[in-house]
Amino acid sequence: MAEVREVKLPGVGVRLEFDTAAGEQVAVVVHRGGRRELMVYDSDDPDICTTVMHLTPSEARTLSEALGGSTVTEVSRVVEQRIEGLAIDWVEVADDSSFADRSIADGMFRTRTGVSVVAVIRGSETVAAPGPDFVFTSGDVAVVVGTPAGIDQVRTLLSS
Q: Give the domain CATH number at 112.
A: 3.30.70.1450
Q: Print the domain residue range for 52.
A: 5-80
Same domain, 28 and 73: yes
Strand locations in 1-160 (E): 5-9, 13-19, 25-31, 36-41, 49-55, 87-92, 116-122, 125-128, 141-146
Walk along the chain (160 residues) and give the pLDDT tens digit of each residue. Answer: 788 898 888 778 888 898 888 888 999 988 877 788 899 988 888 788 888 888 877 788 788 878 876 544 444 344 444 466 778 888 999 999 999 999 999 999 999 999 999 999 998 888 989 999 999 999 999 999 998 889 999 999 999 8
Residue ending a domain, among 54, 80, 106, is 80
Report residue 107: phi and psi, to 5°: -75, -20
Look at residues 65, 80, 95 and tell me which one is the last residue of a structural domain.
80
